[in-house]
A and B are shown apart, each in its own frame.
Chain A
């Protein structure tokens, strides 16, 4: 890495003091990528780009926004009506938050399907879980800033979750509010944290990438890269492939921003916050619906009251992702070679969609029953199925390497493999 000689003298001068060019070359050309990534691997880079879009649009919105209960709602309406292109900036930010979650959910479930969390990529997975946690906090506080009815009551309901903590719950909630109800101090601190947390996310993304580039990308076959015949450089192959996905995503993004900006939001949030009137039916944004369903589904469990049990289950639903690398006992990464897990993966996907649908309904009658079954199954999947499948499932035979299915067997390399002389191998062979 350090031995590379640059032709341009200025580049060489910089590089000797701050090896930005060598490092870029290393990460783009020398860094081996599996040659067989499919389009599900686009979502990581799209998530990174949309994080930047959110920070960018958010900074400009913050320049117009008033974090004061008396002016917050009006200042948002002023952005929509009076500020030049304010409507565009806000709709980019609002639609962006929804799509950010959609992209990240796909990214997470791609990890579930292809076993991307398994050794040696546990730290990549854990940093990813941290990012998701920070995202949830950021999205929640950002939603409060609008200071409509849903904002206010979402803030009230979510902060009241902490009253479930035995003994000190009330004190925690008062501390979170900076008062005895959600009010101006709450809005001020939420604004400060909503501005801070995206930069924290940005920093964790950097850790996520360091861990990723240490262990290298997983791939649809889930087998390790065995040599240069299995790899291609990141640039131009995956820069171009990522751009194709990004183009499709940006098209969808633009369609939503310009033609259906409010499709995913609650009409009640166009009513200014009123601390004396709760809306008929409080629902969070769609990306929190499954967790909301879990919160409301849990009944009294033995000595634990339903309120506390619901809060524990809701937080547990995401906290359990931190344990997935150790709950899954199977050595095989990709679900392609795990006939049973493949089925249960899709059952989990459907289960989560059902939970999301239940989160939208009133917690009564058949919806409550379905929520309870789906909540039970959700935890059953992680706590019971994942460990047991690793023991009882018989995986399909794995290919020897990524390139093995392409390189047909021959008398010299029965596994479809050839030891290349170093001079002919990998990047050094290329101009």
Chain B
């Protein structure tokens, strides 16, 4: 700030008492300054409650407004309409012979569809549920006994279990075997041994007719 100024009045010497006129002027300016600073958030006074109310309601409104602003940006990262449009696939089952498996892609994930043999169905249905880490009867996992439809993603850490091809390892229970950390799945896609906590998930699907299913 520029303090040098040739027009300034002579300062009052230190120690000299103010004259009545000077004292009146000092009080006048001080009162003016006090008036200007009154709007500052000072200690409690007569206007405090009203000001506090206005302050809090303003902040609350601003915060609500901020949320209205932020939500669209968060939601923009959710699956977009074109991604959701790909969320269901139809599969023709006629080419799949008994004992064969195919893999289809649904929502970017592999879906195992297996046309099970009588032996496999029997093996899956005869298990004592109390021996299973994630007890679930085979009947609850299939719409038709000969068709098993599961999400081919090991729910341990997301690897894809082997066992779709006849030459693949099928694990100790003739189903699937996850090579990442050694989880064994049975002919119903249920976890039998290894670190995976749950059975292979069954996606939501329906039979359109005897030969076609819609997944999703």
Contact = CB atoms under 8 A, between A and B. Distances in A.
Note whether A and B form a binding pair: yes
Interface in A392-431: 400, 406-407, 410-415, 417-420, 424, 429-431
Contacts, number: 101
A407 B29 contact: yes
B25 A430 contact: no
B81 A417 contact: no
Nearest to A83: B80
B41 interface: yes
B73 A89 contact: yes
B42 to A, nearest CB: 5
Contact of A430 (B1, B7, B42, B80): B42
A174 to B, nearest CB: 37
B30 interface: yes
A409 B42 CA distance: 31
A85 B80 contact: no
B81 A85 contact: no
Contacts of B75: 84-85
Interface in B2-49: 2-3, 5, 7-9, 11-12, 21-22, 25-26, 28-30, 32-33, 36-37, 39-43
A88 B75 CA distance: 11
A44 B75 CA distance: 31
Interface string A210-245: 000000100000001111110011001100000000
Contact of A236 (B9, B41, B43): B41
A78 interface: yes
Given A83-B76, A89-B72, A412 B33 contact: no
Contact of B3 (A88, A226, A400, A431): A226
Contact of A412 (B21, B30, B77): B21
A411 B1 CA distance: 25
A413 B9 contact: yes
Given A237-B39, A431-B42, A81 B33 contact: no
B3 A78 contact: no
Contact count band on B: 35 or more
B94 interface: no
A63 interface: yes
A226 B5 CA distance: 9
A225 B1 contact: yes
Contacts of B32: 229, 406-407
A431 B43 contact: yes
Nearest to A225: B1
15 contacts: A56-B73, A83-B80, A83-B81, A85-B75, A86-B76, A86-B80, A224-B1, A225-B1, A226-B2, A236-B40, A236-B41, A415-B8, A420-B33, A424-B33, A430-B40
Top-5 shortest CB links A-B: A85-B72, A82-B81, A82-B80, A82-B82, A224-B2
Interface of A: 32, 35, 56-57, 60, 63-64, 78, 81-86, 88-89, 216, 224-229, 232-233, 236-237, 400, 406-407, 410-415, 417-420, 424, 429-431
